[in-house]
Amino acid sequence: MRHIVYIFLLLTVLSSCKHDPTFEIQSLDEELQSAIKRNSPTNDPKYFVMPESDDYKNLPNQDPHNPITKEKVALGKLLFFETGLAQTPKYPNCYETYSCSSCHVPSKGFLPGRFQGIADGGYGYGTLGSSRSLADGYVETEIDAQGNRPMTVMNVTYMTNTLWSGLFGANDKNVGTQSLWVGLADVNHTGYAGLEAQNIEGFKLHRLAINDKVLYTFGYSRDISKEILEPFLTVRKKGPCYFLAKPVASPAIKVHHLAL
Ligand code: HEC
């Protein structure tokens, strides 16, 4: 009988020590919620809720000279995958064969699917970009593959200054560092914010260009009204290629009749 009492007591003690996961999760949730609130500049956790991706006017870090619109997003989607922009490859066999998406592969989270992305000088694709290899006639030092690993372009609206080093952009962390804007960072003197500065340099670096062929043969000029596009493109026309003009307080680029 004494044994039975002991066992009963032991069971009572054990069951009172029982781990209560519900209670623990609830207290962790509360702790997390108060930490989020504490860290919110507005003291409201909603500050950290991201806007929907088509809620253009609420996307952060927009360049006031170049606000995001539905039309520009549609145009950007075309250009990101446009191998026709591959106008200035090292050798003709790679002419019009690469684009931003050669290195930023959407199905790989906008990363290359291998250590380095290869645009010009690359050949083939493989599963999700994993087996792009050296194109005929190129040696390794001639291909466009950057020393640093590519970054994703997902949610880059949250980036103020781009690249691993934050080099690009005349805004935010780079304000007051003008004396260091030399070499690649020279583009910051245009006054553009991080993403635009990145794209201007990215175009040159990745051997992409917009020229008469892209504009007039591929039909971009038909879809984008010329008067609106030209101030952005022709001010710095050099040889057969167009470069973006300085930011101007001009009307936003309007794209017409894009059939998507
Ligand atoms: C040859 C491969 C390659 C191609 C082609 C390429 N990128 Fe990148 N991209 C990179 C690499 C590598 C980095 C990171 C470089 C660094 O930080 O030094 C990067 C960084 C970026 C970033 C910065 C992201 C951040 O969070 O700071 C953006 C934006 C971007 N690329 C957009 C583009 C666009 C748009 C194009 C086409 C116009 C393009 N890239 C073409 C390799 C590539």
pLDDT per residue as tens digits for the range 22-40: 777 788 999 999 999 999 9
Domain end, chosen from 35, 50, 65, is at 50
The alpha carbon of 217 and the centre of ligand 1 are apart by a number of angstroms equal to 27
Q: Of all protein residues, whose CA lies closest to atom 13 belonging to ligand 1?
A: 150
Whether 61 maps to a domain, the answer reads yes
Do 79 and 113 reside in the same domain of the chain? Answer: yes
Instruction: Say if residue 252's pLDDT is above 60.
Output: no
Do 46 and 87 reside in the same domain of the chain? Answer: no
Task: Give 130-183 pLDDT, tens digit per residue.
Answer: 888 899 999 999 999 988 899 999 999 999 999 999 999 999 999 999 999 999
Do 105 and 206 reside in the same domain of the chain? Answer: yes
Of the candidate ranges 33-42, 132-141, 208-217, 251-260, the one whose mean pLDDT is the lowest? 251-260
Best residue for ligand 1 mutational test, from 59, 90, 104 (most atoms within 8 Å of Cβ): 104
Mean pLDDT value of segment 60-77: 83
Whether 259 maps to a domain, the answer reads no
Q: Quick check: CB of 202 below 6 Å from ligand 1?
A: yes
Whether 215 maps to a domain, the answer reads yes
Do 186 and 98 reside in the same domain of the chain? Answer: yes
Instruction: Say if residue 64's pLDDT is above 80.
Output: no
Q: Quick check: CB of 156 below 6 Å from ligand 1?
A: yes
Whether 8 maps to a domain, the answer reads no
The alpha carbon of 202 and the centre of ligand 1 are apart by a number of angstroms equal to 7
Do 135 and 221 reside in the same domain of the chain? Answer: yes
Looking at residue 131, its amino acid is S
Domain carrying residue 42: 21-50
For residue 149, the ligand 1 atom closest to its alpha carbon is 12
Whether 10 maps to a domain, the answer reads no
Do 46 and 70 reside in the same domain of the chain? Answer: no
Q: Quick check: CB of 75 below 6 Å from ligand 1?
A: no
Do 120 and 161 reside in the same domain of the chain? Answer: yes
Q: Quick check: CB of 161 below 6 Å from ligand 1?
A: no
Best residue for ligand 1 mutational test, from 100, 156, 161, 244 (most atoms within 8 Å of Cβ): 100
Do 33 and 111 reside in the same domain of the chain? Answer: no
Q: Quick check: CB of 148 below 6 Å from ligand 1?
A: yes
Whether 12 maps to a domain, the answer reads no
Query: Mean pLDDT over all residues of the chain?
Result: 80
Do 172 and 61 reside in the same domain of the chain? Answer: yes
Do 239 and 190 reside in the same domain of the chain? Answer: yes
Which residues, in sequence order, are CB contacts of 48 under 8 Å at separation 6+?
Answer: 36, 40
Q: Quick check: CB of 114 below 6 Å from ligand 1?
A: no
Instruction: Say if residue 1's pLDDT is above 70.
Output: no
Domain end, chosen from 11, 29, 50, is at 50
Whether 29 maps to a domain, the answer reads yes
Do 68 and 29 reside in the same domain of the chain? Answer: no
Question: Domains in the chain: how many in total?
Answer: 2
The alpha carbon of 166 and the centre of ligand 1 are apart by a number of angstroms equal to 12
Do 114 and 191 reside in the same domain of the chain? Answer: yes
Whether 258 maps to a domain, the answer reads no
